């Protein structure tokens, strides 16, 4: 089962670097800390979107936070940590999914008007 998730993580585009991943019972997560956060954020957004609504400005801010974290790490200004990667990934995952749901809702309403 673990190998199936490992291959899925690779197919989804995760680099799966051990130093950027969490471990549980001696097994490395099939995706890195940032991807773990993104997937959790997307999952939570599926519920949050319908419970609290969408705020596109906040969603964009959430995505920019991950971009900022990645840029700081990439430029070697300050090394990122796995907890920070998890949080920034979570925020971006939430923001991206919420924006997608918002746009899909607008598209659906527009198409209904055409009928």
Residue 2: band (very low, low, confident or very high) from pLDDT cuts 50, 70, 90: confident
- Tens of pLDDT, residue by residue over 70-108, are 999 999 999 889 999 999 999 999 999 999 999 999 999
- Tens of pLDDT, residue by residue over 21-43, are 999 988 899 999 999 999 999 99
> What's the predicted TM-score (pTM) here?
0.89
Q: Mean of the per-residue pLDDT values for the chain?
A: 94
List CB contacts of 49: < 8 A, sequence separation 6 or more.
Answer: 97, 98, 101, 102
Tell whether the model's pLDDT for residue 115 goes beyond 90.
no
Burial class for 16, CB neighbours closer than 10 Å (0-12, 13-18, 19+): middle
């Amino acid at each position: 089962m673990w190998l199936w998730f490992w291959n899925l993580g690779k197919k989804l585009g995760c680099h799966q670097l051990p130093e950027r991943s969490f471990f549980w019972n001696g097994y490395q997560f099939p995706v890195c800390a940032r991807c773990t956060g993104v997937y959790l954020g997307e999952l939570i957004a599926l519920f949050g979107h319908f419970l609290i609504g969408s705020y596109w400005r906040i969603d964009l801010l959430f995505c920019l936070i991950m971009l900022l974290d990645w840029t700081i790490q990439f430029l070697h200004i300050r090394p990122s940590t796995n907890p920070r990667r998890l949080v920034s990934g979570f925020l971006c995952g939430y923001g991206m999914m919420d924006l997608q749901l918002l746009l899909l809702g607008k598209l659906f309403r527009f198409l209904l008007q055409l009928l």
